[in-house]
Chain A
């Protein structure tokens, strides 16, 4: 039993969601012929890249008791910046990708500054950024999409190196790993929990709360930018309406993974589980041939039940 607990320990505090995920997989393996195949598992990884990358940043934001509603729009802005600089200005695509991420980071710098130095509530500051970034994204091409990227760009999301990993999935796994290692083993990672636990106490303990907060919002936006590039590769095109309401999906993943919306508890391990639950659920419902309208109901019910079960368990502890 102790060893089982140790295995589950990597996803600290997320054993409930992990058990849910395993049950879900078990059920789908029996209910469909096509779920339990290597190919389908790789598909699910492909399908969760965008959400997974954004969820890492969102986990940090929610851990300090914040919220970032701008990520869906920032994603769109980053991909439009990348597309515009690459196609209209003729900048090499690799460099354009970096500029797209930088544009995302800049958005985070602005909303982070509003939150820390102007004391605008995070909900409002990022709500404002959601609107601004979406508008800017649309202004770049007057609402038009951009297509016609080099062949290798789409291949980043399609070609499976060694028959296993696409470049975009590899990027997601690296980001998961870095996000988890930083939170677990770096002093700054522990500071994130301290700030979420109690801001004032963290400040008195000598933590530069403002600086840390600012960096977390920059990170969240920069990761939304990376997600934008990944999505562009996956779609082989960029359009300003991309990523609409993705912020809500991202928040759902983080909360499903057991991170508390009030901050201070949770982690990347849980978020990975949360992302996989959403990914497996969407994939499984498609494989089961469940009607599209009912799918929405089922996903909503699962989110509500999972979080309610978690809250119930916390209370019992």
Chain B
């Protein structure tokens, strides 16, 4: 135990205490590349603007996140950047911060009951529409389709389902034969879910996975299944590893979110809110439809 204490003592000293403003960054789950990119961008921007960013990771657990936000408030943060973990508990951290009069910037997810002062996210509905439209067209405008959803009830899951649904409704020849939900948006879930669905529906031509990790899992499952037909796979997010996989033809299309920009924006907006400025309640960002043809610049320099 003494060694552990010594270790953390050394870290405290090394980190030093920055003077000036402190911003708490409560992340849903750093295992997900999408969130990790936002974290890295936010921390870099904090350094640039001379504010201290204190990051906590809820590892996908709502209860952990409530505790972490309490701890951030104890440390006297001036603003909270908040990426809710899961669908539940999204309201409590915002309420806690409001009690202390601290502004909140939500990223990616926003609770209807207690929205942040501003909400930064990708226009998932439009982007999901584009992605689904693209693979359906590639598949010839018809065929059997399966959907691997993200975590049920979260903002991105709801929006991506809606956007893709709009695309599907324009093609009467497309039949959605199965849908399944993941809990962690993870690759092994994508693999397992797709494998099971392909077992039940071996005629599938089109797969929409609502995150790149799920899509990479789906691509593995397709490879293992070794079916005769060409299966088109779409993802979402533009994760760094996924973009390379996209270049190598592992799957077909994704929507690259502006994660770096969102991380920077969140810090800038947090500082603006601390200084009493206003920000729009909802700030939707575009995502870029990304295929093998236009992926290279994003691999070199993620937006």
Closest to B70 in A: A43
> Which range holds the interface residue count of chain B?
35 or more
Q: For window 55-78 of chain B, which residues contact chain A by CB distance below 8 Å?
A: 55-57, 60-63, 66-68, 70-72, 74-76
Q: Is B8 an interface residue (CB 8 A)?
A: yes
Are A143 and B7 within 8 A (Cβ)?
no
- A278 to B252 Cα, complex, angstroms: 46
A1 lies within 8 A of chain B by Cβ: no
Segment from A94-102, A168-176, A206-214, A302-310 that makes contact with B: A302-310
Please tell me if the beta carbons of B71 and A287 are within 8 angstroms of each other in the complex.
yes
Contact flag A288-B71 (CB < 8 Å), given A237-B88, A241-B183: no
Interface size on A, residues (CB 8 A): 49
State how many angstroms separate the Cβ of A83 from the closest Cβ of chain B.
Answer: 10
Within 8 A of A (CB), among B128-157: 151-153
| A238-B88, A239-B62 known; A37+B1 contact, CB < 8 A | no
Please determine whether B62 and A34 come into contact, CB atoms closer than 8 angstroms.
no
* B residues at A contact (CB < 8 Å): 1-5, 7-9, 11-12, 15, 27, 30, 54-57, 60-63, 66-68, 70-72, 74-76, 86-89, 91-92, 113, 151-153, 181, 183
Q: Give the contacting residue for A288; candidates B12, B30, B57, B67; CB below 8 A.
A: B12
Question: Does A177 make an interface contact (CB < 8 A)?
Answer: no
**Pairs across A and B, CB under 8 Å, 6 listed:** A23-B2, A43-B74, A145-B86, A234-B63, A288-B8, A292-B57
- Once the chains bind, are A292 and B12 in contact (CB under 8 Å)? no
B1 touches A23 (CB 8 A): yes
Say whether A290 contacts B74, CB under 8 Å.
no
Residues on B with beta carbons closer than 8 Å to the beta carbon of A189? none
Q: Are A37 and B74 in contact (CB under 8 A)?
A: yes
Given contacts A39-B74, A289-B54, 20 further A-B contacts (CB under 8 A): A23-B5, A31-B8, A37-B74, A40-B74, A46-B70, A143-B181, A144-B152, A234-B63, A235-B63, A242-B61, A242-B88, A285-B8, A286-B68, A288-B12, A289-B12, A289-B75, A295-B57, A298-B7, A301-B7, A306-B1
Docked pose: A285 CA to B67 CA in angstroms: 12
Q: Which of B3, B27, B88 contacts A235 (CB 8 A)?
A: B88
A residues touching B (Cβ–Cβ < 8 Å)? 20, 23-24, 27, 31-32, 34, 37, 39-40, 43, 46-47, 50, 142-145, 147, 154, 231, 234-239, 241-242, 244, 282-283, 285-295, 298, 301-302, 305-306, 309
In order of increasing CB-CB distance, the 6 nearest A-B pairs are A292-B57, A286-B71, A235-B89, A239-B88, A237-B88, A47-B67
Are B67 and A282 interface neighbours, CB within 8 A?
yes
B92 touches A234 (CB 8 A): yes
Contacts of A291 in B (CB 8 A): 55
Report yes or no: A34 in contact with B75, Cβ–Cβ below 8 A. Answer: yes
Please, which residues of chain A bring their CB within 8 A of the CB of B71?
43, 283, 286-287
**In the assembly, what is the distance between CA of A305 and CA of B5, in Å?**
12
Which residues of chain B have C-beta atoms less than 8 A from A234's C-beta? 63, 66, 92
